[in-house]
């Protein structure tokens, strides 16, 4: 695991001096064990190394191919690198290291861009081919490792900059970044920018499963892998899917135990992390190091998971550590981690994730985590049952008003009081967002509303729905979660672990496992408990019926039922809770009001201070009454304010100049969301 950075001349002009050194130094936290830079007249590459495989200096990067034919800077792990190396040796190659990095560059020497289809792992890399004067950037199929890029026009000419984190792009000094107001609106709606957007105008994320090439003055972005669609025609039976799931998950965990440094696991006490720990313990035996975290002044304050984590740790005889994070430490860390993330945090549990990682860094360098299982196996009952609400709303329209109110079950409140929708996309966005369109628009200033580029995020969701036309609504929802929600979780875990120089591995995001599970019929992921429960659900809606009347991640629970305690197999999904609602009454609301209505916020002109003041008063009353999600929304606004203070302390939205930067014109291929 490492950090990479680079700069390439698009039009052949000379590179500016010292840029690559500044960019690389900004990534030292990702790889404190070694660093290196390489440069010729057209391209510069930088690398910060966190040593995981082959701890010798033979693995120093950037690393050259045979006879210096190509240079590579790489971040990630290739789990099949030994098999690939042996095949290359049989074809006459010799190696000077045991690293997977050298395998990548030797494969490129033989197969060019075709090497991507042979790599099994998580990666983001840059290969400069001096003979062709060509740059290849590539990101792994699911986007586990990040890669950002931007174009700059300086005195020397047109440049393309890229790096593992946005802060390295900014450190180069050739960009003049501004806030992306469209991404600000997307953050309020969905907790993160969508598609290739970032919070910085003109800075983009290379999409998962894509390459970016620079050659002959042209920048191209193209997919080399796409998430498959479900196969609605094939059902191979429950026994097949049970055996397949057990086998593929086991293989995915086993591959990720490859390491020359100590490794361990996060253990939340939920199903997904418990499965990972069970399989690791099966391979490694007793004594596996596991870690859990809770937030609050006292045990139990934050719907504490430590009891369930302790149960699993005792069952598998792990060496378990419990980390506790109190509210004052949480608030102290928040601004620091926003700077680390280069964005407002997406979910409140990012802070405890960092604190847990900081603690485990004293003992291990590699940690396995359970991200991805919910998006694959339909674990989010409130989101995955949104189609149930949609079909119910259509059925209710044909009934008398009194009967509609009886059967509604409170469903309309989830959708902002709406009961009619313009199709599945309109319905999904109404149920998926946090700040709804009207609430979001009311909080943004008039200048900010004029700055929006006609709802970039919503257009990205629309493209995803268009790409799944003809599929059942349930399958479309899962596809969107896999393309967007999962990407945000992967970005989160990368940022919070690499901040402490720790490598996180995510077995459930193994591409072979993903390809198989995506094709699996929905009934093996999400199903009703019984005909009675299905009938009872008619009087409820998705938030209420989830895991009361249905079973999420059905096949995953069945596949590992004999390996885990019953209390874990049958446990409802809770998610890691931070007690924001309780904190509001102990100072957080006053702190938030101070930040959001400060002179700095008013002068910036992004949020409307009068509307915001009314919103705070109204939301505080709702929270006192014990209802709503005001705490999470307020936490999001505080994150946004802290992000502006960290990156744009003197920014003022100019009402006369509201156009946002578009995707660079030189990018010739459309970027899929």
Placement of tokens 């860094």 in the chain: 361
Q: Are 518 and 229 in contact (CB under 8 A)?
A: yes
CA atoms within 13 A on the CB side of 103: 26
Rounded mean pLDDT, 344-355? 94
- The Cα 440–Cα 444 span in angstroms is 6
- The Cα 560–Cα 583 span in angstroms is 38
Cα→Cα distances 442→69, 387, 437, 445, Å: 57, 28, 8, 8
Q: Are 241 and 231 in contact (CB under 8 A)?
A: no
Could you tell me the pLDDT band of residue 656, with boundaries at 50, 70 and 90? low
- The Cα 96–Cα 98 span in angstroms is 7
pLDDT of 115: 97
- The Cα 311–Cα 294 span in angstroms is 15
Cα→Cα distances 521→240, 243, 557, 573, Å: 12, 15, 16, 21
pLDDT of 258: 93
Could you tell me the pLDDT band of residue 623, with boundaries at 50, 70 and 90? low
- Angle of helix 630-647 relative to helix 327-341, nearest 10 degrees, comes to 50
Q: Are 499 and 337 in contact (CB under 8 A)?
A: yes
- Angle of helix 423-432 relative to helix 456-467, nearest 10 degrees, comes to 130
DSSP label at residue 118:
G
- Residue pLDDT, tens place only, 565-603: 999 999 887 766 787 777 776 788 889 999 999 999 999
- Angle of helix 81-90 relative to helix 100-111, nearest 10 degrees, comes to 50
- The Cα 61–Cα 2 span in angstroms is 10
Segment (H or E) for 172: none
pLDDT of 638: 96
pTM of this prediction? 0.94
Cα→Cα distances 454→2, 522, 659, Å: 37, 34, 11
- Residue pLDDT, tens place only, 269-321: 999 999 999 999 999 999 999 999 988 654 444 445 789 999 999 999 999 99
Angle among Cα 411, 415, 416 to the nearest 5 degrees reads 115
pLDDT of 670: 39
The mean pLDDT of the chain is 90
Beta strands in 591-649 (DSSP E): none
pLDDT of 134: 96
Torsion of the alpha carbons at 54, 212, 47 and 158, rounded to the nearest 10: 160
- The Cα 532–Cα 56 span in angstroms is 63
- 387 forms beta bridges with none
**DSSP per position, 291-355:** EEEEESSSTTTT---HHHHHHHHHHTT-EEEEEEE-HHHHHHHHHHHHHHHTS--SSTTHHHHHH
Q: Minimum mean pLDDT among 386-390, 418-422, 530-534: which range?
A: 418-422
Buried b (16+ CB within 10 A) or exposed e, 239-276: eebbebbbebbbbbbebbbbeeeebbbbbbbbbbbbbb
| Short-list 359, 355, 498, 493, CA closest to 49 | 498
CA 46 centroid distance within chain: 24
Fold of 2-223: 3.60.20
- Residue pLDDT, tens place only, 224-273: 999 999 887 789 999 999 999 999 999 999 999 999 899 999 999 999 99
pLDDT of 397: 83
| Short-list 29, 37, 18, 354, CA closest to 167 | 29
Q: Which two tokens stand for residue 249?
A: 């998950």
Q: Which two tokens stand for residue 127?
A: 């290969």
Phi and psi based region of residue 572 (left: phi greater than 0; alpha: psi -120 to 50; beta: remaining): beta
pLDDT of 408: 77
- The Cα 490–Cα 373 span in angstroms is 12
Predicted confidence (pLDDT) at residue 610 exceeds the cutoff of 80: yes
* Domain 238-379+479-527+550-569 class, CATH top level: alpha beta
- The Cα 633–Cα 630 span in angstroms is 5
Sheet holding 289-295, edge to edge: 319-325, 289-295, 263-266, 366-368, 503-505
DSSP label at residue 546:
T
Placement of tokens 């009675």 in the chain: 532
- The Cα 195–Cα 459 span in angstroms is 10
- The Cα 381–Cα 426 span in angstroms is 19
**Helix (DSSP H) and strand (DSSP E) numbers for the chain:** 31, 21
Could you tell me the pLDDT band of residue 452, with boundaries at 50, 70 and 90? confident
Predicted confidence (pLDDT) at residue 620 exceeds the cutoff of 50: yes
- The Cα 640–Cα 345 span in angstroms is 8
- The Cα 103–Cα 150 span in angstroms is 28
- Residue pLDDT, tens place only, 58-105: 778 999 987 777 999 999 999 999 999 999 999 998 898 889 999 999
pLDDT of 627: 57
Phi and psi at 10, nearest 5°, equal: -75, -40
Q: Which two tokens stand for residue 623?
A: 């929270």
Q: Which two tokens stand for residue 302?
A: 């934050």
Rounded mean pLDDT, 366-382? 94
Q: Are 171 and 342 in contact (CB under 8 A)?
A: no
pLDDT of 231: 81
Most confidently modeled range among 11-25, 326-340, 498-512: 498-512
Q: Which two tokens stand for residue 503?
A: 């490598």
Predicted confidence (pLDDT) at residue 407 exceeds the cutoff of 90: no
């Amino acid at each position: 695991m490492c950090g990479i950075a680079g700069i390439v001349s698009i039009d052949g002009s000379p590179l500016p001096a010292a840029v690559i050194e500044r960019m690389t130094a900004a990534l030292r936290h990702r790889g404190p064990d070694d660093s290196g830079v390489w440069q010729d007249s057209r391209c510069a590459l930088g690398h910060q190394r966190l040593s995981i495989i082959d701890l010798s200096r033979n693995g120093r990067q950037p690393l050259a191919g045979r006879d210096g034919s190509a240079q590579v800077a790489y971040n990630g792990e290739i789990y099949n690198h030994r098999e690939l190396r042996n095949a290359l040796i049989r074809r006459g190659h010799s190696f000077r290291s045991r690293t997977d990095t050298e395998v990548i560059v030797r494969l490129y020497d033989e197969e060019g861009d075709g090497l991507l289809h042979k790599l099994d792992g998580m990666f983001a890399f840059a290969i400069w081919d001096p003979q062709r004067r060509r740059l290849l950037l590539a990101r792994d199929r699911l986007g586990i490792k990040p890669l950002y890029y931007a174009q700059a026009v300086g005195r020397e000419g047109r440049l393309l900059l890229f790096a593992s984190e946005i802060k390295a792009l900014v450190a180069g000094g050739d960009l003049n970044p501004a806030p992306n107001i469209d991404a600000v609106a997307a953050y309020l709606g969905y907790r993160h920018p969508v598609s290739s957007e970032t919070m910085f105008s003109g800075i983009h994320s290379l999409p998962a499963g894509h390459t970016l090439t620079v050659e002959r003055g042209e920048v191209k972005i193209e997919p080399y892998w796409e998430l498959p669609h479900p196969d609605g025609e094939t059902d191979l039976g429950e026994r097949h899917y049970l055996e397949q799931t057990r086998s593929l998950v086991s293989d995915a965990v086993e591959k990720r135990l490859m390491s020359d440094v100590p490794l361990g696991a996060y253990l939340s006490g939920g199903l997904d992390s418990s499965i990972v720990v069970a399989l690791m313990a099966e391979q490694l035996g007793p004594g596996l190091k596991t870690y859990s975290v809770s937030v609050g002044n006292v045990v139990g304050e934050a719907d504490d998971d430590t009891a369930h984590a302790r149960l699993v740790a005792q069952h598998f005889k792990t060496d378990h550590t419990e980390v506790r994070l109190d509210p004052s430490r949480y608030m102290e860390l928040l601004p620091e981690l926003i700077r680390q993330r280069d964005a407002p945090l997406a979910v409140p549990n990012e802070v405890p994730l960092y604190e847990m990682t900081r603690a485990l860094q004293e003992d291990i360098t590699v940690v396995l985590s359970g991200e991805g299982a919910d998006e694959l196996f339909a674990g989010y009952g409130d989101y995955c049952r949104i189609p149930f609400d949609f079909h119910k709303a259509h059925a209710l329209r044909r009934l008398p008003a009194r009967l509609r109110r009886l059967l509604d079950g409170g469903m309309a409140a989830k959708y902002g009081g709406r009961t009619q929708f313009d199709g599945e996309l309109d319905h999904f966005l109404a149920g998926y967002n946090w700040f709804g369109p009207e609430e979001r628009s009311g909080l943004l200033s008039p200048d900010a509303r004029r700055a929006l580029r006609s709802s970039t995020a919503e257009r990205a969701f629309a493209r995803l729905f268009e790409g799944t036309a003809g599929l059942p609504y349930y399958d479309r929802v899962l596809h969107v979660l896999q393309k967007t929600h999962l990407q945000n979780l992967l970005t989160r875990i990368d940022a919070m672990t690499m901040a402490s120089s720790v490598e996180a591995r995510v077995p459930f995001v193994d591409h072979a496992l993903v390809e198989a599970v995506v094709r699996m019929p929905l009934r093996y992921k999400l199903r009703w408990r019984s005909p009675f429960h299905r009938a009872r659900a008619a009087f409820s809606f998705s938030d209420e019926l989830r895991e009361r009347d249905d079973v999420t991640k059905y096949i995953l629970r069945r596949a590992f039922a004999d390996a885990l305690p019953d209390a874990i197999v049958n446990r409802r999904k809770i998610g890691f809770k931070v007690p924001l609602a309780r904190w509001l009454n102990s100072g957080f609301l006053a702190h938030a009001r101070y930040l959001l209505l400060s002179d700095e916020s008013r002068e910036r002109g992004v949020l409307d201070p009068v509307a915001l003041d009314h919103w705070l008063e109204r939301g505080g009353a709702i929270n006192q009454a014990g209802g709503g999600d005001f705490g999470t929304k307020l936490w999001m606004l505080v994150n946004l304010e802290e992000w502006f203070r960290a990156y744009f302390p003197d920014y003022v939205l100019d009402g006369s100049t509201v156009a946002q930067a578009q995707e660079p014109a030189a990018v010739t291929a459309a970027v899929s969301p």
